[in-house]
């Protein structure tokens, strides 16, 4: 009898088929909703960041502006022996094109002022990189004091020889 009960119990549980199609549809719909929301969020984020970047980026500036050159300088340096001299060739970057004619007109004054500055320098002041940068800054400050419009932005040494 015990064996018959077990057989009956086994036979009482017939396999019931649940509809897996409903589960598949629910899973597919939830995946589509998540992907759609992710895509919409990404498009919104990229459209916002792209428009902000376009507004913030100005037009590209040229690497070097208009250059104005001046004739070479050869001066004696202040030293105990007085045997050292400096040969200096430079070009100046100006803020706009209107400065160049003004610099041409003031050239004698500018050369005189630069000569006064260079002859007051010693060999030790000019040998390190910091000394050369200070000299550039001093030249820019002195020459800009003569200009009424525009300015000299930077000085470039194209030759710098001390003997």
State the pLDDT at residue 146: 93
Say what the pLDDT of residue 53 is: 52
Domain boundaries, the chain: 2-56, 66-162
pLDDT tens, the chain, 163 aa long? 555 555 555 555 555 555 688 888 888 889 889 988 889 888 888 887 765 455 556 666 666 678 999 999 999 888 777 688 999 999 999 998 889 999 999 999 999 999 999 999 989 889 889 999 999 999 999 999 999 999 999 999 999 999 8
**Superfamily of chain region 66-162:** Band 7 domain (3.30.479.30)
DSSP 59-128: PPPPSS-EEEE---EEEE---SS---EEEEEEEEEESSTTHHHHHHHTHHHHHHHHHHHHHT--HHHHHS
CA neighbor of 34 nearest in space, from 45, 22, 23, 42: 42
């Amino acid at each position: 009898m015990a064996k018959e009960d077990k057989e009956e119990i086994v036979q009482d549980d017939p396999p019931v088929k649940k509809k897996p199609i409903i589960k598949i549809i629910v899973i597919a719909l939830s995946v589509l909703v998540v992907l759609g929301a992710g895509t919409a969020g990404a498009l919104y984020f990229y459209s916002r960041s792209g428009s902000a970047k376009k507004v913030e980026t100005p037009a590209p500036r040229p690497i070097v502006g208009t250059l104005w050159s001046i004739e070479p300088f050869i001066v004696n340096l202040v030293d105990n022996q007085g045997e050292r001299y400096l040969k200096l060739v430079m070009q100046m970057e100006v803020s706009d094109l209107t400065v160049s004619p003004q610099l041409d007109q003031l050239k004698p004054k500018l050369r005189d002022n630069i000569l006064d500055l260079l002859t007051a320098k010693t060999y030790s002041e000019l040998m390190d990189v910091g000394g050369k940068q200070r000299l550039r800054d001093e030249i820019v400050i002195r020459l800009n004091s003569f200009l009424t419009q525009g300015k000299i932005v930077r000085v470039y040494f194209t030759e710098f020889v001390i003997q």
